[in-house]
């Protein structure tokens, strides 16, 4: 018997005390049962009969609305011959009255090969098919040219395949086209690295406000990670899972084959005390209230940015932290802030980041504080970035808001950028220090991945985030920050206030999503790390010259004799393989994005 994990998420009674906004949106809820299958990764299980048997086993365990199978590259069908070539799969969908998603190779009439997902409806007819659109360096498959969504009786479904996962724009497009259920079908890569998948899975679901169903493979042997230097590619991950709209796994096969099942209320939302705009997910998050025009670079052809000749490429990045009650405000001289800057000076930093303050007025006091900051930057011979500042003589017409201000080594204010999520701005800018190109997002902007993506496309090598963001919690915030660093192959430094939440820390994340430095709990101080910006994130492609011979026992039994080379330049490889011609919807607003914004004022 295969293991099955079953979780139920169903709606409770709607209380009579909920506000009118919630009551106005009440409707009959769609409660659906979804299963995802994890297949075994070995030669004897690469057959159609095995895959069909696993689908049948999942279906016979109860009524299903959707079953998802991993990508099966050992199976194929001919373009125009779905009915005959895939009749057994169609028959299972029809016999069990369920939607079914499979993925396999498609041979086109002209001989080209595609990696294709096929969605069958409850009657066994094809609802639609999707051809993989994004490839990595070694992928020889022909790519599709559309990112469609499919309307089914349970909701709008968006399909993604294999290496599509490494391109967040794919999921952004599907979200804006209305996808409520996202599917990612994969097969084991030549080199298996799963550490980065955990925060990326979180981000793909949460950014899309959609359930995410993943379908994977498990090795029949013990799970073990890669070790490239000895020729160990790592085993298949297992972990076919269903994640909810904020990226929490609600069903998971673990590191083995089997079936994960969840019964989900697609329309369930928590009551949101922050109305009138929708943040009614089951964790706190921030919506983008800007008009998205600053995201235009996402849909434009990309050319690798030309960076200046920097004076140096190594830098000591320091992050200062203290209590929010000691924050810089318009009417105070923040002694704690200056204590932290003085403590940072002892580490001889190149750059100091502080959290988001509340200094948003131009007074004699704020002018004096600005003078003292400039004096310290010059004395320390360091850049200082402080966020939550708007103390210039002239405010924006709409009023003051949080900005990041950057003082250079001479004590001059050389760069300012406002918070985005509250009302947006026309252009996301980057700045060249004397050691690297930098970008900025502020506080709740962490929940708007497009900001960091645009900064990275413009060449930002590190993103700085001064934040007051304490919701949902430190764990969720950290996963989202790690996902931004991974997606963009850049460093990320975040300064938080001290908190009673032990997971909410100031931290520095590397391009692989690893936290390399973090603050101490409820202490005032500085954490720093040294970064060599000349070292590029690596990827794996080609074929390593020396291939260790596969054995019958022990670690050598895992060897494939096809281990790829390790190459620098992951970011350039990914960015060059983006498909901006498919992303035209991203810098626009539509009915989907407007659901998460305040209503337009009556004219």
How sure is the predictor about 168, in pLDDT bands with cuts at 50, 70 and 90? very high
134, 164 Cβ separation under 8 angstroms: yes
Looking at residue 3, its pLDDT comes to: 44
pTM above 0.75, yes or no: yes
Mean pLDDT of 385-401: 88
Mean pLDDT, all residues of the chain? 92
Q: Is pLDDT at 155 greater than 90 in this prediction?
A: yes
Under CATH, what is the fold of the domain 31-269?
Nitrilase/N-carbamoyl-D-aminoacid amidohydrolase (3.60.110)
Among 194-198, 272-276, 406-410, 563-567, the minimum mean pLDDT is found in 272-276
* Class of CATH domain 314-533: alpha beta
Of 603 and 398, more confident = 398
Looking at residue 276, its pLDDT comes to: 55
Using CA atoms, how far apart are residues 357 and 355, in angstroms rounded to an integer?
6
Looking at residue 278, its pLDDT comes to: 67
Specify burial of residue 140 (Cβ count, 10 A radius: 0-12, 13-18, 19+): exposed
Q: Is pLDDT at 134 greater than 90 in this prediction?
A: yes
Using CA atoms, how far apart are residues 157 and 210, in angstroms rounded to an integer?
10
pLDDT digit string (tens) for 81-95?
Answer: 999 999 999 999 999
pLDDT digit string (tens) for 344-378?
Answer: 999 999 999 999 999 998 999 999 999 999 999 99
185, 103 Cβ separation under 8 angstroms: yes
pLDDT digit string (tens) for 447-491?
Answer: 999 999 999 999 999 999 999 876 789 999 999 999 999 999 999
How sure is the predictor about 603, in pLDDT bands with cuts at 50, 70 and 90? low
pLDDT digit string (tens) for 299-329?
Answer: 999 999 999 999 999 999 999 999 999 999 9
Q: Is pLDDT at 2 greater than 50 in this prediction?
A: no
Among 7-11, 45-49, 163-167, the minimum mean pLDDT is found in 7-11
Mean pLDDT of 500-507: 95
Looking at residue 322, its pLDDT comes to: 96
Determine which helix (DSSP H) or strand (DSSP E) holds 594, and give its type and residue range: helix 591-594
Question: Residues near 421 by Cβ (< 8 Å), separated by ≥ 6?
Answer: 286, 287, 288, 289, 290, 443, 444, 445, 447, 448
Mean pLDDT of 93-121: 97
Looking at residue 277, its pLDDT comes to: 62
405, 417 Cβ separation under 8 angstroms: no
444, 470 Cβ separation under 8 angstroms: no
Closest by CA to 358, choosing from 413, 402, 407, is: 402
Q: Is pLDDT at 13 greater than 60 in this prediction?
A: no
Q: Kindly report the three-state secondary structure assignment for every residue of 347-372.
A: CCCCEEEEEEEEECCCCHHHHHHHHH
Q: Is pLDDT at 283 greater than 90 in this prediction?
A: no
The total number of residues shown for the chain amounts to: 603
Q: How many CB atoms lie within 10 A of CB 525?
A: 16
Q: Kindly report the three-state secondary structure assignment for every residue of 527-588.
A: EEEEEECCCCCEEEECCCCCCCCCCCCCHHHHCCCCCCEEEECHHHHHHHCCCHHHCCCCCC
* Bridge partners, 598 (sequence order): none
Looking at residue 461, its pLDDT comes to: 98
Looking at residue 270, its pLDDT comes to: 86
* Bridge partners, 438 (sequence order): 431, 462
Looking at residue 290, its pLDDT comes to: 84
How sure is the predictor about 22, in pLDDT bands with cuts at 50, 70 and 90? very low
Q: List C-alpha distances in Å: 1 to 54, 257, 340, 507, 535.
A: 11, 11, 60, 45, 49
Q: Does residue 102 come out as left (phi exceeding 0), alpha (psi in the -120 to 50 range) or beta? A: beta
Mean pLDDT of 59-83: 97
Q: Is pLDDT at 10 greater than 80 in this prediction?
A: no
Mean pLDDT of 523-549: 96
Using CA atoms, how far apart are residues 515 and 481, in angstroms rounded to an integer?
10
Looking at residue 547, its pLDDT comes to: 94
Q: Is pLDDT at 140 greater than 90 in this prediction?
A: no
Using CA atoms, how far apart are residues 427 and 429, in angstroms rounded to an integer?
6
Using CA atoms, how far apart are residues 417 and 420, in angstroms rounded to an integer?
9
Mean pLDDT of 260-272: 92
User: Do the domains spanning 31-269 and 314-533 agree at the CATH topology level?
Assistant: yes
Looking at residue 275, its pLDDT comes to: 59
Looking at residue 345, its pLDDT comes to: 98
Q: What is the DSSP letter of 93?
A: H
Using CA atoms, how far apart are residues 305 and 456, in angstroms rounded to an integer?
10
Ranges of each domain in the chain: 31-269, 314-533
How sure is the predictor about 105, in pLDDT bands with cuts at 50, 70 and 90? very high
């Amino acid at each position: 018997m295969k293991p099955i994990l079953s979780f139920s998420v169903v709606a409770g009674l709607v209380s009579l005390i909920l506000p009118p906004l919630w009551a106005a949106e009440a409707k009959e809820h769609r409660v659906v049962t979804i299963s995802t299958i994890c297949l075994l990764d070995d030669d004897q299980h690469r057959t159609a009969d095995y895959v069909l048997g696993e689908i049948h086993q999942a279906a016979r365990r109860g009524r299903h609305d959707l079953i998802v199978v991993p990508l099966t590259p050992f199976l194929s069908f001919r373009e125009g011959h779905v009915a005959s070539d895939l009749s057994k799969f169609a028959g299972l969908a029809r016999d069990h009255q369920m939607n079914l998603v499979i993925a396999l190779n498609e041979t086109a009439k002209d001989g080209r090969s595609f990696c294709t997902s096929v969605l069958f409806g409850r009657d066994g007819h094809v609802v639609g098919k999707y051809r993989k659109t994004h490839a990595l360096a070694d992928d020889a498959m022909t790519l599709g040219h559309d990112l469609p969504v499919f309307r089914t009786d349970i909701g709008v479904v968006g399909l993604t395949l294999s290496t599509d996962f490494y391109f967040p724009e794919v999921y952004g497009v599907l979200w804006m086209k209305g996808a409520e259920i996202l599917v990612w079908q994969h097969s084991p890569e030549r080199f298996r690295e799963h550490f980065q998948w955990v925060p990326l899975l979180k981000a793909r679901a949460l950014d899309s406000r959609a359930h995410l169903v993943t379908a994977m493979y498990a090795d029949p042997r013990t799970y073990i990670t890669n070790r490239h230097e000895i020729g160990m590619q790592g085993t298949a991950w297992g972990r076919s899972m269903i994640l909810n709209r904020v990226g929490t796994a609600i069903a998971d096969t673990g590191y083995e084959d089997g079936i994960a099942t969840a019964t989900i209320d697609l329309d369930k939302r928590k009551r949101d005390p922050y109305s009138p705009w929708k943040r009614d997910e089951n964790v706190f998050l921030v919506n983008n209230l800007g008009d998205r025009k600053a995201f235009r670079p996402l849909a434009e052809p990309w050319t690798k940015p030309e960076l200046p000749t920097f004076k140096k490429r190594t830098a000591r990045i320091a992050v200062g932290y203290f209590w929010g009650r000691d924050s810089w405000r318009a009417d105070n001289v923040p002694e704690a802030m200056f204590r932290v800057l003085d403590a940072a000076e002892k580490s001889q930093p190149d750059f100091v980041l502080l959290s988001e303050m509340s200094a948003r007025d131009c007074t004699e006091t704020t002018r004096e504080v600005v003078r003292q900051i400039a004096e310290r930057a010059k004395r320390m011979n360091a850049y200082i970035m402080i966020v939550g500042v708007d103390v210039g003589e002239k405010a924006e017409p709409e009023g003051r808001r949080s900005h990041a201000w950057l003082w250079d080594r001479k004590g001059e204010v050389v760069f300012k950028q406002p918070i985005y999520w509250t009302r947006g701005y026309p252009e996301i800018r980057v700045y060249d220090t004397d050691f690297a190109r930098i970008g900025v997002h502020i506080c709740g902007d962490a929940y708007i991945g497009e900001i960091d993506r645009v900064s990275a496309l413009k060449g930002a090598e590190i993103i700085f985030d001064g934040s007051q963001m304490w919701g949902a919690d430190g764990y969720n915030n950290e996963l989202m920050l790690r996902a931004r660093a991974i997606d963009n192959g850049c460093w990320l430094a975040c300064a938080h206030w001290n908190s009673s939440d032990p997971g909410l820390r100031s931290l520095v994340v590397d391009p692989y999503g690893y936290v390399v430095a973090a603050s101490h709990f409820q202490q005032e101080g500085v954490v720093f790390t040294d970064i060599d910006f000349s070292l590029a994130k690596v990827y794996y492609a080609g074929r390593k010259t020396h291939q260790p011979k596969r054995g019958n026992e022990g670690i050598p039994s895992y060897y494939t004799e096809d281990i790829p080379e390790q190459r620098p330049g992951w970011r350039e490889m990914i960015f060059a393989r983006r498909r901006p011609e498919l992303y035209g919807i991203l810098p626009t607003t539509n009915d989907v994005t407007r659901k998460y914004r305040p209503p337009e004022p009556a004219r």
